[in-house]
Amino acid sequence: MKGHIRIISGLETVPGNLPTDAVVVSAAMTFFSTKEVDLWTGGYTHDARNESSYYAMGYSGAAAAVLNDLALVVGGRDLAGETLHDSCLAILFDTTQQRIVYDYDVDGSLPRRIGHDIAALPSKNAWFVFGGESIVDDDDGDNVLGGRVLAELTRVSYTNNVLQWEKMQFKGAEEPAPRAWHTLTAIRYRPPPEVATTQKGKANKEASQATIQVVELDHALLLLGGKDAGRDVWVFLYDKQASSSSDEGDTTESLPAQQTPKWIKLNTDGASPLPLAHHTSQALGEGTRVAVCGGVRGGTSLADTISILDVLTTTWSTVVTSPLVQRSFHTMVWVQVPVSAQDDSLLFPRLTEQSPVLPSVDRLVIFGGITADDVAPMDEFVVVDMVTATATTVTADLALPSRMGHAVVVSPDRRLLFSFGGTHATTHHWLDATSRVDLWTYQHEPLPPPPPERMRTLEYPNGDVYLGELNDKELRHGIGRCTYKAGHVYEGHWANDVWEGDGRLEYANGDVYAGTFGSHVRDGKGRLVRAPMEASSTGSALCERAYEGEWQQDRRHGAGVVEYSNGATLKGTWTDDVLDASVNIVIEQYDDQTAIGLYEGAVDVTAPLHPPHGQGRFEMTGYPKAGEMYSGGWVHGKREGQGICMAFDGTVFMGEWKNGKRNGFGTCDYAKTRDRYEGKWVGDVRCGLGTCTYAAGFVYEGQWAHDKRHGDGRCTYKDGTFYEGHWENDEFCGDGALILQAP
């Protein structure tokens, strides 16, 4: 079973409307492939004439993890097995040969369960299964949920063709409470530094001087969430404890370290997404940061965030907030995605043949599950860029239906996804297939392939050329490509001779729109990207480079994002092609002529580039650790009117602004010197008449220039002595009078 995929929404976009006479033919669409690589029958036979027997062969609710190229799929529901024995489902799958492994023995077992999770510890060459909800027999002898919620941690190893199960024992140490529908994630962890004492036999007082132990990162497991589990977060690891010689007079080296399995409860800070259940989690990079996506929050609502837990600092942060990640019973993996060698924002570039030299980027890929509206759309993936904190929808014709309760692993090179079982999104049958999604293999032909008799090449009298499907009335209908005499190209779906559905439109001038169409115009979601030549023709001038978002009747209508040539992005809502000023507007990477940062507030909706205009708030990148924050008036993209500015060191200015700088009357409290100035400002510096009260206790009242005392002024000291006269460059100069306070 093979397929292809098209990106229909993303971050690239472009200004401009489609001409009413424009006929476009886009460049070829982009694809990757899928295939069913194996079927699981449980060793049982099924009746090919009875569709329900396929349902009985499938399984749902399993969990999976990879160790040394082997994926272990554990637990869940499978009706055929549940009627015969009490042990849970266990499947070994070779990700290299892409087939199920059958030739092995089993030592021990794991009772049936669902809502558990599994992760691998490479340093221990083992998988670990935690928790879940047991599956029990009801009064009629049927297997149902509702059994005991478990807190068991089971170690699973595979050596010499033997799969061995071993329940872990912790001998009274603190352990996590029973839970189900949680996540267990393989991470890299370093316990906090501890004060250690050296011992030989009994404690030696002289040798017990405290030292700080520096521990290298080691493999560990992170447990979080779960139904009724609260906000607690746990780490499982093997604690290394050095053994020493038993004789005080023995000078031999210490024995090798003994490793003791233990749980550590973390005390976390920040914006925790917990309590959660039915969520997913995935370690990023070297494994010290874990992304947590979606899930049911507090048992009532679906979370629409991706949060990050830094396991070394034990700090939570919210990175992505999007309805695209608002789901449960889904899967999420960290993969390498191919990008265009010319433009690394173009994912899954189309090739005529496979190329091993394509660059790649790391992305989170989310598939399946239940959304706030219903089950996740068929063949839909969500690709998340954790650097830019953006989620992109990718819709596929992969013959890979959406599902829930499935298990997913990736190949060791993180280029292949393997999906095991699950519940079909529409038929609700349990699936028996293992499907492979290959992000690095490209296929152009749509699925299913159009009948050969429906594929036609037509040349129209006006010079247009069409290649694709036709209906019985000889109208363009289905998938096809039309090259127009005017130079436009359209490739995508047609219905009764008009563009309808997903497609790509390339203008004669090089502008490109990719997205959905309705009644021959852009309608739905899509991206419009300005031609590179047009963007470069404007030189260094700021211009709109792209628009991505919602369309209605060929006009921007709904939520969208504009990308500018300097890298800034504006997020807002459009109504009939006009930016809506009543909705909160955010500009990321905005350049206010002094620094780059985040702007939130009013903009000039009538100006082509929508600069800040009205009341708004601007934070420089890095604030509050560096830079400053400004809140106040703006005119045509620059600070103007009344406003307050707070620097990262605590310095605060309140007063008048013009042309982006402090101009007019204002008050500034300096954090470092504790001085306070009230008076006139010109061009961002003290200039004119003003008063400065110094922390040392004296006060200057008079003229200023270029941020220094300059002109006539009077300086009064704590004891009443004062100097009144002329100043230049912050010093006494010329005529003046020094009046001493009488003793």
Encode pLDDT of 601-621 as tens digits.
999 988 888 999 999 999 999
Give me the pLDDT at residue 27, please.
Answer: 27
Q: Which comes out higher in pLDDT, residue 30 or 519?
A: 519
Cis peptide before 612 (omega within 30 of 0): no
As a whole number, mean pLDDT of residues 207-227 equals: 74
pLDDT over 50 at 242, yes or no: no
Burial class (CB in 10 A: 0-12, 13-18, 19+), 78: buried
Does residue 538 sit in helix, strand or coil? coil
Checking if the pLDDT of 739 tops 80, the result is: no
Model confidence at 662: pLDDT above 80? yes
Spell out a b/e string for 401-435, using b for 16 or more CB atoms within 10 Å of the CB, else e. bbbbbbbbbbbeebbbbbbbbbbbbeeebbbbbbb
Q: Which pLDDT band, with edges at 50, 70 and 90, does 138 fall under?
A: low
pLDDT of 534 over the 70 cut: no
- pLDDT of 131 reads 92
Would you say residue 208 has pLDDT above 50? no
Q: Are strands 33-39 and 99-101 parallel, antiparallel or unpaired?
A: unpaired
pLDDT at residue 191 tops 90: no
pTM for this model (two decimals): 0.56
Residue 363 phi/psi, 5-degree rounding, is -145, 150
Residue 743's CB is within 10 A of a number of other CB atoms, namely 4
Return the closest-CA partner of residue 645 out of 611, 710, 693, 597. 597
Average pLDDT over residues 397-423: 84
Question: Per the structure block, which two tokens stand in for 389?
Answer: 């904190």
pLDDT at 245: 42
Over residues 132-138, the mean pLDDT reads: 77
- DSSP assignment of 673-707 equals T--EEEEEEETTEEEEEEEEE-TTS-EEEEEEETT
d(CA 31, CA 348): 6
At 185, is the pLDDT very low, low, confident or very high (cuts 50, 70, 90)? Answer: very high
Please state the rounded mean pLDDT for residues 248-260: 51
Both tokens of 22, joined, read 């424009």
Res. 182 pLDDT band, cuts 50 70 90: very high
Alpha carbons 723 and 477: distance in angstroms, whole number: 92
pLDDT at 377: 65
pLDDT tens digits for range 26-71: 222 345 667 777 777 655 443 333 444 444 467 889 999 999 999 9
pLDDT exceeds cutoff 60 at 424: yes
pLDDT band at 12 (very low <50, low <70, confident <90, very high): very low
Higher pLDDT, 673 or 1: 673
- Whole-angstrom distance, CA of residue 389 vs CA of residue 337: 16
What is the arithmetic mean of pLDDT over 101-121?
A: 91
Name the pLDDT band for 300 (thresholds 50, 70, 90).
confident
Grouping H, G, I as helix, E, B as strand and the rest as coil, residue 178 is coil
Domains and CATH numbers, the chain: 4-29+446-535 (2.20.110), 325-443 (no CATH)
Three-class secondary structure of residue 82 per DSSP: helix
Check pLDDT > 80 for residue 118.
Answer: yes
Whether the upstream peptide bond of residue 323 has omega within 30° of 0, thus cis, is: no
pLDDT tens-digit series, residues 367-408 = 988 888 776 665 678 899 998 888 888 765 555 677 888 999
Listed residue (193, 241, 242, 237) closest to 219, CA to CA:
237
Q: Would the pLDDT of 446 be above 60?
A: no
pLDDT confidence tier of residue 145, bands split at 50, 70 and 90: low
The tens digit of pLDDT for each residue in 322-344 reads: 988 999 999 999 998 888 776 66
Question: Which has the closest alpha carbon to 495: 528, 465, 517?
Answer: 517
Dihedral sign computed on CA atoms, order 577, 578, 584, 590: positive
Distances (CA, A) of 433 to 1, 58, 366, 551: 11, 8, 19, 38
DSSP helix/strand/coil, 534: helix
Please list, in sequence order, all residues whose beta carbon lies within 8 angstroms of the beta carbon of residue 492, skipping any fewer than 6 positions away.
26, 29, 479, 480, 499, 501, 502, 503, 504, 517
Question: For residues 85 and 461, which has the higher predicted lDDT (pLDDT)?
Answer: 461
Is the pLDDT confidence value at 527 over 70? yes
Rounded Cα distance between 574 and 558, Å, is 5
In this predicted model, which residue has the larger pLDDT, 362 or 448? Answer: 362
Q: So what's the pLDDT on residue 376?
A: 66
User: What is the percent of the chain where pLDDT is above 70?
Assistant: 78
pLDDT (0 to 100) of residue 463:
92
Mean pLDDT of the chain: 81
